[in-house]
Chains A and B, each alone.
Chain A
Amino acid sequence: MIRIDSVTKRFGRATAVDNVSLDIPAGDSVALWGVNGAGKTTLIRCVLGLYRFSGRIEVGGHDVGRRGKRARALIGYVPQELGFHDELGVAEAVRYFALLRGLRVRSAESVLDDVGLAGHGGKRVRELSGGMKQRLALAIAMLGNPPVLVLDEVTASLDACGRGEFVGLLSRLSGAGRTILFASHRIEEVTTLARRVVVLEAGRIGAQTDSETFAESLGLHSMLHLTIRESTRRLALEHLCASGFAARMNGVGLLVPVAREQKAAPFRVLAEARIAIDDFELIAADAAGAPAHTQEAQP
C-alpha cells in the first residue's frame, strides 16, 4: 500500500532522510521510532507530498510526487498539533474537510460523536483543549474511511491520561485492514498500534522488528491490573495519572502499565493517597489488549 523507494531528503547540507526504502503492505501498521531529529516527521511529510525529495514514494500505486492529490485521497492524516483557523467552528471544520474529500456530511455531530466530541459541534476550534483538537483531527482523518492512516507524534502535546485515552480511541477506530504509518517515541503507542517497528537513526533505518520483540528489547512489558472499589476508582486513576502512570479504567479496576523495575510504584502512590486495593494481578500486555509502559522510553 505504501512503497518508499530510496528516499533522501536534504535541507541544505543536512540530510534528514538518507536513502530510506520501506514497503508497507495493505493492512500493516508500522511505527517509525527514533529520537527527535531521527527523520520520522520528515519521512512522513515526504509520504504526504509536503516535501520534495529524491527517490520515489507510492501510496496505493500513486506516485506522491506526480499524483499527490490521488495519493492523499487514500490517506487520513493526524498531525502532531492541529493547524486550524481558531475561529473556525468544529462542525464547520468537519464539513469543510469532508468537501475537500468529495464527501457531503449530513450530520457533523455523528462524526464528532465517534471520537467523543458529541455536543461540541457548535464550539470554535480555539475553545477546544489539546486532546479535543486531536480528536477532531482524528475525526477528519477518518472521513470517507480512508485505507491509510498517517499519524505524526499525535500524542506529543497531550498529558499522560490524555495520551492513554487517545491511543485507546485510535486503536478502536483504526480497525482491521487499515494500513497505518506513524511516528512516535512513546512505547505505549508502538505496542498498541504497531505490528512492525522501524528504528530511524540519523535519517537511516537502523533496525526493523515486530513490536513485541521491540518492547521486549526495551525491557518494558508488564501491566498491573488493580481491583479497586468503584467509589474510589476515579480518584485512584487521577492519582496515578498525576504520578506519571498511563493508567486507564477497565470494568472492575485499573490497568496500569509499569516498567519491570517499577511494579511496586503504583501501590506506593495509592497507599499514600489512602486508597484501598482489593486485589491485583500482573498480566501480559497481550492479555490486557493494551500497552504496558509508564516510562517514555527512548531507543
Chain B
Amino acid sequence: MTAHAASTARALDTRPARPPAMPANVLTIALRELRDAVRSRWFLLYTLAFAALGLGVSYVSALGSGGAGLSGFGRTTAGLVNLVLLVVPLMALTAGAGSIASDRERGILAYLLAQPVSRFEVLLGKYFGLAGALLACLCLGVGACALVLALKGEATRPAAMLWLVGLAFGLSLGMLSLGMLVSVLARRASVAVGTAIFLWLALVFVSDLGLMAGALAFRLRIETLFALATANPLQVFKFWSLHSADATLDVLGPAGLYAVDTFGDHVVWLFTSVLAAWAVVPLAIAAVIFSRRAPV
C-alpha cells in the first residue's frame, strides 16, 4: 500500500476545509500567469519588436533633425511616444483578450474554477499576472533601447525614459482591462482577439480622424472636443507625455491650450483619473459578467 493509500485509509476529515484567502490565491494565479506569459511567443515577439522599433524610431528622428545617428534619451523619449501609442495598446488589448477566452476554449478555465478559488480571484490574478508581463516587456524593450544609447555615450535623460515606461504602463493597464472585458464577453478566443484588434484600430486611428471630422462637421466647441479627446486613453497618454516633456500643451493646438488654461497644474489629476478609470471600470464590468457566465 502506498503512502497515499495509507493516508486515505485513515478517517477522513470532513470538517469544512478552509481555502486560502483571496490575496494568496490572487498571488498564486498571478505568478502562474506571469510565468506563462513570459514563456509565450507573444511576449518575446512584442519585446523584440518594441526594442527594435524603439531603436529605429530614435535613429530616424536623429537623422531627421540633422544628427548623425542615434539621438539622446530626451529626443528618443519623444520619438517613443508615438511608438508606444501604436504598440502598447495592441499588446495589452490582445493579451487581455486572449486570456479568459482562450482558457475557456481549452477547458483550462473550467478546471481552474473547479478548484477552491473564486471567479474574482481568477480574474484579478490573471489581470495582475498579465500586467506584470506587460511591465516586464516595456522595461526590457525601453531598457534595451536605453542601454544601446548609453553605450553610444548619448545618455542625457534616463528619468524621461523611466517616466515614459510608467505612463506606458498606465496606458497598458487600461487597455488590458478593456481586453479582459472583451475576453469575458467572447465565446471564442479568435473572436476575442479579432474584437481587440478592431478596438485598437478604433482607438488609434478612427477616434483621431473622427474627432477631426466631428470638429469640422459639427463645429464642436473646444471643451466638447477636449472632453471627447480625454475619453480616449491614448489621447490622454499623448497629452500627458507631451505635457511632461515640454510643460506645455500648446503643441497640441486649441485643445491643449484649453486644458492648460482651464485646469492649470490640475490637468495631471484629470489625466490620472481618466487612466485609472480605464484600468478599473472595464475590469469591474468584466468581473460582474464573469461571475454570471458559465466557464464552459
Contact = CB atoms under 8 A, between A and B. Distances in A.
Interface of A: 1, 26, 45, 48-52, 60-62, 68-70, 72-75, 77, 79, 81-85, 87-88, 96-97, 99-102, 110-111, 113-115, 142, 144-147, 172-178
Contacts of A146: 17
21 contacts: A1-B14, A26-B14, A45-B294, A61-B16, A69-B116, A70-B16, A72-B117, A73-B16, A73-B18, A74-B16, A77-B114, A77-B115, A83-B109, A87-B36, A99-B20, A101-B17, A145-B7, A147-B13, A174-B8, A176-B8, A177-B11
A187 B2 CA distance: 27
B295 A50 contact: yes
Contacts, number: 130
Contacts of A114: 2-5
A176 B11 CA distance: 8
B67 interface: no
Contacts of B117: 69, 72, 100
Contacts of B14: 1, 26, 60, 74, 147
Given A100-B117, A102-B20, A146-B17, A82 B111 contact: yes
Contacts of B292: 52
Interface residues of B, number: 41
A68 B109 CA distance: 16
Contact of A79 (B39, B103, B111): B111
A62 B116 CA distance: 12
Contact of B107 (A83, A172, A175): A83
A147 to B, nearest CB: 4
B8 A142 contact: yes
Contact of B110 (A52, A70, A83): A83
A147 B28 contact: no
Contact of A100 (B2, B28, B108): B28
B106 to A, nearest CB: 6
Contact of A97 (B3, B36, B109, B115): B115
Contacts of A88: 36
Contacts of A110: 3
B8 A178 contact: yes
A73 B296 contact: no
Nearest to A83: B107
A79 B115 contact: no
B9 interface: yes
Contacts of B296: 45, 50
B118 interface: yes
B157 interface: no
